[in-house]
């Protein structure tokens, strides 16, 4: 588990822009609490909303909506969790993904099945490694849209000396995208630090604080390769 950050940060592969999705890569979330995340980038006319809900008796539900110009995508899937060992667990979810384009010749829709499979290992000191795979057969696509039927995502979290590192690397047929957060503790309820996203080249500040039973987070990022600012909002159950 101690090598999580080294492995994830060392994977700097040649990057190919992900078609009509310059700001976002599909997330394959590990659901352990209820959470809501919003990302916005006005200069790129993009917006994404993701929510996960855990039902102890029935399993978990994840859904997300992405809007990029005239393209939009809604994905929903639900499933369960299986404990393999005291430190290793797996999640399996199934659902559907609906996509819509607004080309010059009219509206186009596609609806495809959506499958998520994840396995997660946890260390003795809070370190975690999660490997997730998402598969959604896409069929025929517009020539400008990258094919991303298979998504492979590796995530790692390391906490040490009042600091926390989150790293995420995502592979698709269009290339690879890397993202990381480095946070340091301000007090018993608060963290603040740096947030970097390879796509589309955002760098900024992220802060979080616990109030009651929830953790609130706010991030402001500036495009390095592209113009504009990005706003990141998060709400997680503690």
The predicted-structure confidence for 21-43, as pLDDT tens digits, reads as follows 445 677 899 998 899 999 888 76
Domain that holds residue 211: 4-237
Q: Give strand ranges (E) for 56-162.
A: 59-68, 71-85, 88-101, 108-122, 128-135, 150-160
Band (2; pLDDT cuts 50, 70, 90): very low
What pLDDT score was predicted for residue 10?
29
Cross-strand bridge partners of residue 157: 128, 166
Break the chain down into helix, strand, coil percent, rounded to 5.
5, 60, 35
Q: Which residue has the higher pLDDT, 63 or 42?
A: 63
Nearest-angstrom CA–CA distance, 128 and 79: 21
Q: What is the CATH number of the domain that holds 11?
A: 2.40.160.40
Tell me the pLDDT tens digit for each residue of 64-101.
999 888 888 999 999 999 999 999 999 999 999 998 88
* Stretch 3-13: mean pLDDT: 31
Whether 194 has a pLDDT exceeding 80, the answer reads yes
Q: Which two tokens stand for residue 119?
A: 């396995």
The domain total for the chain is 1
pLDDT > 90 in the chain, percent:
51
pLDDT band at 135 (very low <50, low <70, confident <90, very high): very high
């Amino acid at each position: 588990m101690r090598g999580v950050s080294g492995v994830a940060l060392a994977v700097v592969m040649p990057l190919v822009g992900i078609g009509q999705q310059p700001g976002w890569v599909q997330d394959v979330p590990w659901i352990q609490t209820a959470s809501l995340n919003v990302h916005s980038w006005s200069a790129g006319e993009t917006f994404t909303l993701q929510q996960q809900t855990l039902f102890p008796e029935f399993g978990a539900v994840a859904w997300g909506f992405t809007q990029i110009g005239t393209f939009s995508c809604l994905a929903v899937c639900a499933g369960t969790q299986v404990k393999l060992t005291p430190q290793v667990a797996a999640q399996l979810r199934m659902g559907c993904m609906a996509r819509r384009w607004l080309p010059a010749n009219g509206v186009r829709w596609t609806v495809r099945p959506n499958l998520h499979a994840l396995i997660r290992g946890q260390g003795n000191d809070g370190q975690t490694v999660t490997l997730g795979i998402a598969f959604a057969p896409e069929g025929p696509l517009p020539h400008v849209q990258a094919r991303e039927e298979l998504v492979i995502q590796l995530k790692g979290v390391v906490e040490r000396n009042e600091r926390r590192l989150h790293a995420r690397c995502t592979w698709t047929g269009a290339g690879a995208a890397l993202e990381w957060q480095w946070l340091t503790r301000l007090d018993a309820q608060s963290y603040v630090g740096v947030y970097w996203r390879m796509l589309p080249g955002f760098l900024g500040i992220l802060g979080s604080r616990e109030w009651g039973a929830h953790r609130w987070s706010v991030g402001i990022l500036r495009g390095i390769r592209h113009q504009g600012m990005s706003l990141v909002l998060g709400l997680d159950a503690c």
